Structure 1
Amino acid sequence: MSGRTHVRACPERTCVGCRKRAAKHELLRVIAVAGACVPDPRSSLPGRGAYLHPDSGCLDLAVRRRAFPRAFRLTGTLDTEALREQVTAGPDSAPAS
């Protein structure tokens, strides 16, 4: 044994709103379903995901910059109301069904 402590690297992702890197567990995964941005707090839904700080400022930046269609490689606009409800409700709330 070498005596070294094995440290597991924490995966990092980039927020589509503020473009800052953060640990994956600090960001909210978002997917596109039927023309809408849907929060995926458990990171278990299939499909291409984008990551966002659970903060209304980052959400506003992402919407203004049209970051979601670009991240999902889609054209047109996406409805962000369900995502906005999740972000304003806070990280401890259950996802809207």
Structure 2
Amino acid sequence: MAKKIPMRMCVSCRERFAKKDLIRIVASADGTVQVDPTGRMPGRGAYVCHNPECMKKAVEHQQFDRGLHRKVDPDTIRPQLDQVKEDAPEK
């Protein structure tokens, strides 16, 4: 029997991907919002795909606010997403 693959939806393009193929943004109990590279940090999570346009749209249109159920400062999350884009291997 095949193992079930967890699927998640990108907050920007609304497409479904395997959880491991998305970037998780987590809002922790102390109010901080950050990129979760392991996918296991405690707190409410929202996912965005690796497409640079999706990342840009998610920040500009406050889509993380809806997914995380709290206000997300674009100046806080944008540099973290930029770092993820730089670290991503070229395909």
What's the TM-score, normalizing by structure 1? 0.74
1:95 equivalent in structure 2: none
Superposed CA RMSD: 2.0
- Percent identical residues: 33
1:1-97 equivalence runs, <5 A: 6-32=1-27, 37-74=33-70, 76-78=71-73, 79-91=76-88
Q: Secondary structure in 1 aligned to 2:25?
A: strand
- Give unmatched runs, 5+ long, in structure 1: 1-5, 93-97
1:90 corresponds to which letter in structure 2?
D
- Give unmatched runs, 5+ long, in structure 2: none
Between the two proteins, the alignment pairs up a number of residues equal to 86
Q: Secondary structure in 1 aligned to 2:34?
A: strand
Aligned 8 A contact 1:15 1:27 in 2 = yes
Runs (4 or more) in structure 1 with deviation over 4 Å come to 33-36
Instruction: Measure, in 2, the Cα distance between the counterparts of 1:63 and 1:88.
Output: 14
